[in-house]
Each structure stands twice: as C-alpha cells, then as structure tokens.
C-alpha cells in the first residue's frame, strides 16, 4: 500500500564538497526514486554539515579580507544558501532519475524556516561548532562586537559554537503539503531548516543555531501526517555494544526500549542517539506510524520489512 514518507538523508548521501555532492546525489536519487516508483509520496530532508561549514568559512574569510566593507554573514543566511544549492543538485538528480523511469512527477525545493523556542535551554549551552578556527584576538573581537561564544583548543585556537534547539513548528508546512498533494517530490528542511524565533508581531528572526536534521524530519513527518519516517545513515541497522565484542544488531525497537538503552548510553550522542530518539518519537506520536533506520541503498528493502531497524510505539 502506498504511503506518505519523510526521508532523512545522512551526510554520506551528499558528499563533503561540490564535486562529491554532484556524484553522490545520483546514487541518492536512485534510492529515493525506488520508493517513489512504488507509488509512495516522498518528502526529502537532508543534512548540510560540510556545506554550511564551507559557506561559513568562505564568508569569514571575506570578512577578514576587508572588515570595514564586509560584516560577518548570519548563520541563518548561510543555512539558507546551503538549502538552495544542495536542493538544486538534488532536485535535478531526482528529476532525471524519474524521467529515466517514465515517472511523471515534479520536484521542488522549499526554502524552509523552522521555528524554535527563544527560551529553549540549548541557547544557554551552545555546543555545536561552526566556522573556522581563529586567533584569540579575532575571537575576542567577535565576542565583543557580536556576542559570539567560543570553544578553545590548545593547538587549533578558538572556534565559534552555537545552540542546537529542538524544532517547534515547520513554517512552510502548508506549502510543502500543497506540493505533495499536487504530485511533487519535495525537498525541505535542509540542514534541519533555517532556525527562526517569533519576535514582535508576526516577525520571524533568524537564530544563531543549528537544528538537528533528524529532529526536524520527525517534526515535519508529524505535521504532514506521514505514515513513515525513514532515516538513512551509514549502517544497515541500529546496534548496541557497537564496535565491541558484544555488538548486537537490532531488528525492532519500542519507545520503552529506546528510553532504556539511551539511559544506558548505548547510542552515540553525536551520531546515533538523535536518530533513534527522532524515530521513536515519530513512531509513538500516533497509532499506525512507523519509523525505520537503515542504509541508503537498503531503503526499499527496509520499507518492505526485509532489513533495517523498525521502530513502533509501546502500544503496538
């Protein structure tokens, strides 16, 4: 039976630089179109770690070249730039792959803002590194002029850190929904979306933050009333005891399993933990919803129940 699916792509699906990205999206598109070919409605969310870092570094170098002329580029703007050029490559590759298979669908990239709470505790404890390493003098100047916060490494110097708040609302949800319902494959919430907070009146202000793309994909899947959330990553299944003699690959996980294993520190904080938390949250959000974590190349087999780790709510 055809489903509405949100697919979250890991960094390995896009490559680390422009040439790699142009090649990677071809393979990625084949896996996504496998799902579309079976009649599913698909919305794609992607990461942007290397890409937004590259943009932030380039903008920082521009500022360094002439501080009187060029001011630092806001991180929200860097995120918007990355959504645009990743979307451009990905939608072209998806369009070509669908036409090669005689699938008549449009593809659209939606520049997506994602609302976060201004009082999210993450803003008081920024941990996400962004941009280039710099000298103490440069860091102190930016700290004084713009309120940036930094981490320090004895060998590399100072590097800016920003918050990673949880997504609250997908601002362009109605646009995404309309495109899906009019026979389009939609690329949205790139890099977790452009983080914005509500300020006076109806104004949305870009926030110096990075939203985890798996949490953004989960929020989008909920608000789109999707049937499934598929998180594609570098492993075929979720494991406990990963990399040890006691390594065990898991076929299924309930919300209770995720809670218990997370508390036991079985999942890496910067890698698998947000994925399993996002998958579990979606599966628990409404009866009948499922989530899957698997390899990019195994997406179709995973959806068919042949591989991957499937997440279900405790009541199911």
The pairing of beta strand 167-170 with beta strand 113-116:
antiparallel
Distance of CA 193 to the CA centre of its chain: 8
Q: In whole angstroms, what is the distance from residue 8 CA to residue 216 CA?
A: 9
Catalytic residue of the set 10, 15, 191, 275 = 275
Catalytic residue of the set 49, 87, 131, 213 = 213
Q: Supply the DSSP symbol for 177.
A: H
Residue identified by tokens 């939608």 is 91
109, 84 contact by CB (below 8 A): yes
Closest to 40 measured CA to CA, from 229, 209, 196, 174 = 229
Catalytic residue of the set 47, 79, 128, 298 = 128
**Is 183 labeled as catalytic in the residue annotation?**
no
Gyration radius (Cα) of the chain, Å: 20
Q: In whole angstroms, what is the distance from residue 300 CA to residue 31 CA?
A: 7
Q: In whole angstroms, what is the distance from residue 19 CA to residue 152 CA?
A: 32
**Is 40 labeled as catalytic in the residue annotation?**
no
Cα-based angle 166, 170, 173 (whole degrees, multiple of 5): 160
**Is 11 labeled as catalytic in the residue annotation?**
yes
The pairing of beta strand 228-233 with beta strand 4-9:
parallel
Give the bridge partners for 238, in sequence order: 250
**Is 128 labeled as catalytic in the residue annotation?**
yes
Catalytic residue of the set 12, 57, 92, 169 = 12
The pairing of beta strand 149-153 with beta strand 157-162:
antiparallel
Give the bridge partners for 158, in sequence order: 134, 152
Tell me if residue 36 falls in helix, strand or coil: helix
Dihedral pair phi/psi, residue 109, rounded to 5°: -100, 125
Residue identified by tokens 């109605």 is 174
**Is 275 labeled as catalytic in the residue annotation?**
yes
Catalytic residue list: 11-12, 128, 213, 275
């Amino acid at each position: 039976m055809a489903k509405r699916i949100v697919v979250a792509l890991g960094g390995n699906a896009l490559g680390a630089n422009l040439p790699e990205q142009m090649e990677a999206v071809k393979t990625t598109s084949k896996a996504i179109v496998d799902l579309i070919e079976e009649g599913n409605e698909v919305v794609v969310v992607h990461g942007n770690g290397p890409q937004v870092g590259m943009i932030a570094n380039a903008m920082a170098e521009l500022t360094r070249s002439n501080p009187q002329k060029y001011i630092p580029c806001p991180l929200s703007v860097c995120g918007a730039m990355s959504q645009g050029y990743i979307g451009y490559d990905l939608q072209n590759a998806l369009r070509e792959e669908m036409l090669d298979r005689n699938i008549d669908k449009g593809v659209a990239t939606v520049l997506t803002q994602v609302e976060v709470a201004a009082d999210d505790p993450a803003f008081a404890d920024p941990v996400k590194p962004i941009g280039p390493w710099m000298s103490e003098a440069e860091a102190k100047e930016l700290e004084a002029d713009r309120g940036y916060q930094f981490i320090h490494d004895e060998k590399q110097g100072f590097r800016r850190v920003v918050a990673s708040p949880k997504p609250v609302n997908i601002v362009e949800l109605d646009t995404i929904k309309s495109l899906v319902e009019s026979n389009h494959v939609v690329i949205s919430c790139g890099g977790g979306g452009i983080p914005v907070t509500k300020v006076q009146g109806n104004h949305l202000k870009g926030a110096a933050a990075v939203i985890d793309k798996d949490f953004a994909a989960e929020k989008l899947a909920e608000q789109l009333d999707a049937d499934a959330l598929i998180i594609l990553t570098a492993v075929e299944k979720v494991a406990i005891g990963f990399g040890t003699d006691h390594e065990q690959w898991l076929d299924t996980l309930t919300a209770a399993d995720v809670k218990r294993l997370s508390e036991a520190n079985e999942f890496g904080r910067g890698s698998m933990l947000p994925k399993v938390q996002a998958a579990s949250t979606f599966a628990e959000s409404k009866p009948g919803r499922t989530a899957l974590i698997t390899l990019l190349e195994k997406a179709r087999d995973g959806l068919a129940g042949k591989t991957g780790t499937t997440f279900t709510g405790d009541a199911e």
